[in-house]
Chain A
Amino acid sequence: MRTRKVSGWHLLLAPLALCFALPLVWLVLSSVMTNAEINRFPPALWPKGIDLGGYRYVLGNALFPRWFANSLLVASVAVGSNLLFGALGGYAFARMRFAGSRLLLGLMLATMVIPFQLTMIPTFLVMKELGLIDTLGALIVPSLVTPFAVFLFRQFFLSLPREMEEAAWIDGCSRLRVLFSIVLPLARPALATVAVLTFLSTWNDLSWPLIALNHDTQYTLQLGLTTFQGQHHTRWSAVMAGNVITVLPVLVAFLLAQKTFVQSLTSSGLKG
């Protein structure tokens, strides 16, 4: 009786879950098809063999590996600096008393709800003034530290007991030392959350690179992929191979940090 009930749920859930997976399965399958298999009608649903022509074509292109490196550079600088400056800022807001701290925190939180589209034109102008347009600097500077990182660290530090830090101050430790040798080792969940979400948002962004970059040697992977699609319409397997390479790092990051990732998403907006 019980086993039949269980299998009933599987009958509903398995096809549903499959629907979500299918487009991605098709992405991977089409990336290893030959052009003949893709271009015939109706297209083959399953490749005869694994043809790596698409991948060879993409990786042999001088620009594609460069876009990958650009994306990796921008994302890793963003992750590193959000961890550093986010933790510093969050710590100051959580543990130090100084004039104007409430106002500053309020202003920072307010910027979280400002839509990017409102700020994109003036941000472009600011970057132009700084001479950063059409360089990776234009992507790196705005993503150095986000209000989200500061806020998340602050919330996390507030939840830590103060006793150990107080003991360290009394022993003559500087604030910086307390933060790095006592607080941060305890803050691993916050560090992981900020790292994963920062990586995801910088790696996946298209609109800002689209505005800030003109020259295709500076492109990120997402931006490169959009031009790729037009140029290589006849080589869908190459476009799909490029797409797989774009999606893969995020999927790997997600599968490695699945638990943290899901927790951070569910808690980020709910416990305000």
Chain B
Amino acid sequence: MSTLPRAITLAPQAAVPPAAARRAARRRARRETATAWGFIGPAVVVILGLGIVPVLWSLLLSFRADDLVTPGRWVGLDNYRALAEDPGFHTAVRNTLLYTALYVPLSLVGGLALALALNRRLRLIGLYRTLVFIPFVVSATAQGVLFSFILDPEFGVANSLLHQLGISPQGFLSDPDQAIYLLVLISLWSGVGFCVVVYLAALQDVPPELVESARIDGAGRALILRHIVLPTLTPVTVFLLLWQVITALQVFDLIYVTTKGGPLGSTTVVVYFVWQQAFQTFTAGYGAAAAYVLAVALMVVGAALRVVRRRQSRTEGVVR
């Protein structure tokens, strides 16, 4: 009997003498633990080995002058002090904030507007939804290659369209005043689809009887949107806000493929800066410090949104 694995939910059998039962239970628990560790072993090794360990290692690195090849040297907070005075890092932070401040609200508002427009029964609506979403699965590399072709100042199709409209040719990604805005547009092209899909799913949860009774009471579309639809969408909006902020702060692939941080540093974002420091100029300790600044910023954003979310669920609980 005791060799059989016991289902956790079953009540202990009272008929067995207490001491023997305890011993048997201990033995079972030990076997259960061994099996469990066998099951989670690979995940623990890979995830914690390449998740938690590097976080601590990175912190250590950020206090060192290290080129990844020769043994480094402890410099304390010097890297952070240097970052505070580095104009290159300041530009990177400014570019990152500008990119985030444009991309996040535009993708949320655009995603909501598109979701509201796509949330109806029409012929071909499935096709429309698919077309809006498809750019999301295209890799940033492929997007970058495609748009550097479309936006090529000399023989890109964009300039030839402008030409036909009588507008003089633009420098696009080679123009320091335009590059980052175009990168935001390219990211929106692929990123809006994600917001649309999430909002479309959330719109299914808007209680139809509430909308119906509001309509009977004479509420117009705008009123229904403001007082019924938008409040239902708030939790989803908070999630998307967090998600898009994280995505925006981490943008790298698209920039590497299109502008490589240029022209004149106008598209160097923090992550690009980190990569350059670690793998191009071989000042890995300095890069690690910059990465830590970004990570702390992300954590602050995450924590702030968590607080908002918790407060929200509390008030929601009161309403219900």
Contacts and interface: CB of A to CB of B under 8 A. Distances in A.
Contacts of A267: 201
B160 A43 contact: yes
Contacts of A181: none
A119 B278 CA distance: 12
Interface in A73-116: 81, 85-86, 88-89, 91-93, 95-99, 101, 104, 107-108, 110-111, 113-116
Contact of A122 (B58, B120, B243): B58
B134 interface: yes
Given A9-B122, A126-B53, A115 B139 contact: no
Interface in B202-226: 202
Given A86-B43, A222-B139, A270-B239, A121 B61 contact: yes
Interface in B20-79: 29, 32-33, 35-37, 39-40, 42-44, 46-55, 57-58, 61, 68
A125 B148 CA distance: 33
Contacts of B236: 270
A21 B190 CA distance: 11
Contact of B145 (A21, A45, A225): A225
Contact of B193 (A20, A24, A210): A20
Interface string A154-175: 0000000010001001101011
Interface string B138-169: 11111011111110001111011101100000
A189 B275 CA distance: 37
Interface in A200-220: 200, 203-207, 210-211
Contacts of A38: 155
Contacts of B278: 120-121, 124
B117 A111 contact: no
Contacts of B141: 204, 206, 222-223, 225-226, 246
A165 B179 CA distance: 58
Nearest to A127: B50
A6 B295 contact: no
A111 B239 contact: no
A107 B52 contact: yes
A137 to B, nearest CB: 13
Interface string B1-12: 000111111100
A118 B294 contact: yes
A207 B53 contact: no
Contacts of B291: 115, 117-118, 120-121
B288 interface: yes
A62 B318 CA distance: 66
Given A118-B58, A121-B291, A125-B68, A169 B4 contact: yes
Contacts of B193: 20
Nearest to B48: A107
B40 A104 contact: yes
B140 A20 contact: no
A146 B50 CA distance: 10
Contacts of B246: 113, 115
A206 to B, nearest CB: 4
A150 interface: yes
B83 to A, nearest CB: 15
Contacts of B49: 126
B111 interface: no
Contact of A24 (B124, B127, B135): B135
Contacts of A243: 142, 145-146
A221 to B, nearest CB: 8
The 9 closest A-B pairs by CB, nearest first: A42-B160, A111-B51, A204-B139, A122-B54, A122-B57, A89-B43, A92-B39, A119-B54, A266-B201
Interface of A: 6, 9-10, 12-14, 16-18, 20-21, 23-24, 26-27, 30, 38-43, 45, 81, 85-86, 88-89, 91-93, 95-99, 101, 104, 107-108, 110-111, 113-126, 128, 141-142, 144-147, 150, 162, 166, 169-170, 172, 174-175, 200, 203-207, 210-211, 222-223, 225-226, 229, 236, 239-240, 243, 246-247, 250-251, 253-254, 258, 262, 265-267, 269-270
Given A89-B43, A175-B5, A211-B275, 19 more contacts: A20-B134, A23-B147, A42-B157, A88-B42, A89-B40, A91-B39, A98-B32, A98-B33, A108-B48, A118-B54, A118-B294, A119-B50, A119-B55, A124-B278, A126-B49, A142-B46, A170-B4, A207-B252, A240-B149
